[in-house]
Amino acid sequence: MAEAPVLVISNRGPISFSFGDDGGLVAKRGGGGLVSSLGPLVRDIGATWMAAAATDADVAAAAEGVIEAEGYKFRSLAIDAGKYQMAYDVVSNATLWFLHHGLFDLSRRPRLDRRWREAWDAYRDVNHAFAQAVIDEAPEGAIVLVQDYHLALVGTWLAQKRRDLRAVHFSHIPFCEPGALRVLPSDVAEELLVGMGSHASCGFHSRRWAANYEACCDEVLGFTPATFVAPLSPHYDDIAARAAEDDCVREQRWVEEVKGDRALIVRVDRIELSKNLLRGFWAFEDLLRTRAEWRGRVIFLALVYPSREGLADYLAYRQEVESVAKVINDRWSTPGWTPIILDTSDNFPRSIAALTRYDVLLVNPVRDGLNLVAKEGPVLNACNGVLVLSREAGAWDELGPVALEVNPFDVSGTADVLATALTMAPGERATHAATLTKLASARVPRHWLDDMLAVAGASHGLPDVAITRSTKGHAGS
Ligand code: G6P
């Protein structure tokens, strides 16, 4: 149990509600990676979790205040639906996510027009609504753990109204370099950095993202706010126990049938531009093209599930993913062998099963805050599988000494690394897998939470960024 009361706030919550037959509220577990990682931790310390109401039933739940369900103390926050959508789609996902992952196609995007400005205002309002709820409801001296880029500005109002609170912000995504930040209008960049810097400290999964954030603050605000680095780890015992359940065991049999006596490359991802699915397929094709001995002898099982389909970019990306897989299959399939098996059905037990059975796990994001799959794979895998990992993933910091490195943009280079992984000698594979498992399980999720609680607990209220800036002299952008 933490000493001070703890409040967690995030865009997505651990519980979502629906209306039962009698019109009453029915609680069920919410989805999303953040929730499955944080959920058990938040329950363990008895924290209250506040998140945006996504459905009509969530809005009805918001009127009930803190609800105890599924082991959580949960507070659903009613936010104007139109504003929420603008903030989530246009700013959080189409702007900040793209900015920090380096995804903008700069000749066309972003288009920071009047509509975008309205969306920025909506983003500010949504952040303000969260801040106001915390201001109204957080007990004196409470620790507030603010999660992710959807809520970068919350600290602004907390620092003005509740200096007693010990609020830290944690980004589960990367942070861009100063050069990339210059895409944003100066006032917006400044508002964003002041918002984050108004928390007692800002946490990241990798020192690289913290350093980028510090460099941006130094350039735009003229000082470097406090940061900390705390990589998250999956709940190994939970996922191992999950892998032993009937549905996962059934799916393991399915994976084994599909695999037969061939080698198996696996990936498990959201259909997400930053995950670099297309270059992964092209690299696999390069392997087939340049190494005839692998034709018919290897299968690429891509378990990828739809995400953020409210955004045209994501819909288009999904179509491209499907069509590239089809082009490659049409070109190389033979009777009895389909090189790529693309499954977009969001089959969780199958994903777990595939992680237990892979020979090679491909994790090649163009940039990734951490990438939990890179850590889950080695711990679940029972085949001495090899991890092929992008050096641009936050998890590279921990797994890089052992994982096979890829530059995610280098397709033929990735093909070469896949070939190296597929031909690794059994003894070397065993050592590789054992060392990876050790590295991947060096930390448990509780370490991440304890790091955050320690930083928050050691802080003495919130900084006054306005004062810090003026005493440093060269503020302004
Ligand atoms: C990343 C973010 C999370 C987010 C998740 C899924 O992991 O760090 O905050 O929940 O992606 O994205 P979504 O937009 O579906 O919540």
Interior/surface letters 250-269, b for 16+ CB within 10 angstroms, e for the rest: ebbeebeebbeeebbbbbbb
Write the residue with the smallest CA distance to atom 14 of ligand 1. Answer: 308
Q: Which residues pair with 263 in a beta bridge?
A: 298
Q: Which atom of ligand 1 approaches the CA of 173 most closely?
A: 8
Q: How far is the CA of 171 from the centre of ligand 1 (A)?
A: 11
**Residue 248's pLDDT band (boundaries 50, 70, 90)?**
very high
**Residue 466's pLDDT band (boundaries 50, 70, 90)?**
low
**26-62 residue pLDDT tens:** 988 877 777 878 888 898 899 999 999 988 999 999 9
Contact 294/331 with Cβ under 8 angstroms? no
SS3 385: coil
> In this predicted structure, what is the pLDDT of residue 98?
98
SS3 383: coil
Q: How far is the CA of 422 from the centre of ligand 1 (A)?
A: 32
- In a 13 Å sphere around the CA of 324, the CA atoms on its Cβ side amount to 17
Q: How far is the CA of 232 from the centre of ligand 1 (A)?
A: 15
- Which DSSP string corresponds to 132-178? HHHHHHPPTT-EEEEESGGGTTHHHHHHHH-TT-EEEEE-SS----H
- The mean per-residue pLDDT over the stretch 71-88 comes to 95
Q: How far is the CA of 10 from the centre of ligand 1 (A)?
A: 10
Q: What is the pTM of this model?
A: 0.96
**188-215 residue pLDDT tens:** 999 999 999 999 999 999 999 999 999 9
Q: Which atom of ligand 1 approaches the CA of 93 most closely?
A: 14
CA dihedral 92→38→8→147, nearest 10 degrees, is: -30
Ligand 1, residues 36, 88, 307: which to mutate, most atoms within 8 A of Cβ? 307
Write the residue with the smallest CA distance to atom 2 of ligand 1. Answer: 172
Residue 115 to residue 274: CA distance in whole angstroms: 25
Residue 309 to residue 191: CA distance in whole angstroms: 29
> In this predicted structure, what is the pLDDT of residue 467?
60
**253-278 residue pLDDT tens:** 999 999 999 999 999 999 999 999 99
Q: Which atom of ligand 1 approaches the CA of 88 most closely?
A: 14
**139-148 residue pLDDT tens:** 999 999 999 9
Q: How far is the CA of 32 from the centre of ligand 1 (A)?
A: 6
Write the residue with the smallest CA distance to atom 6 of ligand 1. Answer: 32
**Residue 285's pLDDT band (boundaries 50, 70, 90)?**
very high
- The mean per-residue pLDDT over the stretch 398-415 comes to 98
Q: How far is the CA of 67 from the centre of ligand 1 (A)?
A: 23
Write the residue with the smallest CA distance to atom 8 of ligand 1. Answer: 172
Q: Closest Cα partner for 110 from 187, 180, 175, 213?
A: 180
Q: How far is the CA of 307 from the centre of ligand 1 (A)?
A: 9
Ligand 1, residues 12, 146, 273: which to mutate, most atoms within 8 A of Cβ? 12
Q: Which atom of ligand 1 approaches the CA of 171 most closely?
A: 8
Interacting residues of 237 by C-beta distance below 8 A, sequence separation 6+: none
Q: Which atom of ligand 1 approaches the CA of 92 most closely?
A: 14
Amino acid at 100: H
Per the prediction, the chain carries an average pLDDT of: 95
Percent of the chain at pLDDT > 70 equals 97
Q: Judge whether residue 3 has pLDDT over 80.
A: no
Ligand 1, residues 8, 34, 311: which to mutate, most atoms within 8 A of Cβ? 34
Q: How far is the CA of 55 from the centre of ligand 1 (A)?
A: 17
- The mean per-residue pLDDT over the stretch 100-109 comes to 97
Q: Which atom of ligand 1 approaches the CA of 148 most closely?
A: 9
> In this predicted structure, what is the pLDDT of residue 463?
84
**158-172 residue pLDDT tens:** 999 999 999 999 999
Q: Judge whether residue 459 has pLDDT over 70.
A: yes
Q: How far is the CA of 12 from the centre of ligand 1 (A)?
A: 8
Q: How far is the CA of 25 from the centre of ligand 1 (A)?
A: 25
Q: How far is the CA of 216 from the centre of ligand 1 (A)?
A: 23
Least confident stretch, 14-18, 399-403, 446-450, 470-474: 470-474
> In this predicted structure, what is the pLDDT of residue 39?
87
- Tell me the residue ranges of DSSP E strands in 339-403: 340-343, 360-363, 386-390
Percent of the chain at pLDDT > 90 equals 89
Q: Which atom of ligand 1 approaches the CA of 369 most closely?
A: 8
Cβ neighbours of 20 (radius 10 Å)? 10
Contact 127/195 with Cβ under 8 angstroms? yes
Residue 416 to residue 420: CA distance in whole angstroms: 6
Q: Judge whether residue 283 has pLDDT over 90.
A: yes
Contact 357/256 with Cβ under 8 angstroms? yes
Both tokens of 5, joined, read 């009361």
- Which DSSP string corresponds to 392-440? TBTTHHHHTTTSEEE-TT-HHHHHHHHHHHHT--HHHHHHHHHHHHHHH
Q: Which atom of ligand 1 approaches the CA of 10 most closely?
A: 9
Q: How far is the CA of 35 from the centre of ligand 1 (A)?
A: 9
Pocket of ligand 1 (CB under 6 A): 12, 32-34, 148, 172-173, 307-308
Q: How far is the CA of 185 from the centre of ligand 1 (A)?
A: 25
- The mean per-residue pLDDT over the stretch 98-106 comes to 98
> In this predicted structure, what is the pLDDT of residue 28?
86
Q: Which atom of ligand 1 approaches the CA of 35 most closely?
A: 10
Q: Judge whether residue 477 has pLDDT over 50.
A: no
> In this predicted structure, what is the pLDDT of residue 446?
94
